[in-house]
Amino acid sequence: QGRIPVAISVAGGHIVGSPFTVSVVAGPVSLSQTLLTGTGAQDRTAGDPATLIVQSRDAYANALTSSAPGALTVSLAASASLSVSCRDTAPSLTCDYLLTISGSYSQQVTLNGAVSTATSTFKVFPNIVSAATMTTSGNGLTAATAGTAASFTLTSRDKYGNQVTLGRTPFTATLGGVILGSSVSVKSSVVDLNNGQYYVSYVATVTGT
């Protein structure tokens, strides 16, 4: 793609006008050569804005200098298909979007209904732990027997509800209250399961609610 000289000579001499300058332009868009770049083609954290740039190229990887003819669109697929809003920024297509659900994604480019064989895959990781969305489970949250160990599990999640799969989040579990006018404190033990969950156990020795 560009300008190339074409020389024509006879008996060692150039003909009139030689060498000629030929302008070579890109051929029709080739979906298999479509290039996906930008933060939209990279791993990211849930809630982080991303921009995907779709560069149209011909079969020889030459970049088109104008918009690809026809309906060039981008689609995202995970557990469910998601539509992406794009704008024409000739000669490329620019898509801005934000994902809040963690997981693995793939994105494809289509032209007039034909799907590109070149896909971009990336992962969306959970954001930081949010106390407001952490969940709990286990009988130790509602009932216990004096002198017998009780327990429950904490599951850490980010503000979008994604389970955080890494441990090492510092937090404390304080158990106690006032029973029959006396302040009661219960010692607890917290075990980091290193998967975003924490096992909390305790032994109550005073009955009450």
pTM of the complete model: 0.76
Supply the pLDDT for residue 42: 92
Q: What pLDDT, on the 0 to 100 scale, is given for residue 100?
A: 92
What string of DSSP letters covers 178-198?
Answer: EETTEEEEE-EEEEE-SSSEE
Q: What is the residue-averaged pLDDT of the chain? A: 84
Task: Identify the CA nearest to 160 among candidates 181, 129, 136, 184.
Answer: 129
**Residue pLDDT, tens place only, 1-31:** 567 888 888 888 888 888 889 988 888 888 8
Q: Stretch 145-169: mean pLDDT, rounded?
A: 92
Whether the CB-CB separation of 165 and 102 falls below 8 Å is answered with: no
Q: What is the pLDDT of residues 58-83, one digit of tens each?
A: 889 888 877 665 566 777 766 445 66
19 cis-preceded (ω within 30 degrees of 0): yes
For every residue of 110-131, DSSP letters joined together read EETTEEPS--EEEEEE--SB-G
Tokens of 70: 């026809």
> Is residue 47 pLDDT above 90, yes or no?
yes
Question: Which of 28-37, 66-75, 164-173, 191-200 bottoms out in mean pLDDT, i.e. has the lowest?
Answer: 66-75
Segment 106-146, tens digit of pLDDT: 888 887 777 776 577 899 999 999 999 999 999 999 999 98
pLDDT confidence of 172, banded at 50, 70, 90? confident
- In a 13 Å sphere around the CA of 194, the CA atoms on its Cβ side amount to 0
Weakest-pLDDT range from 53-57, 178-182, 183-187: 178-182
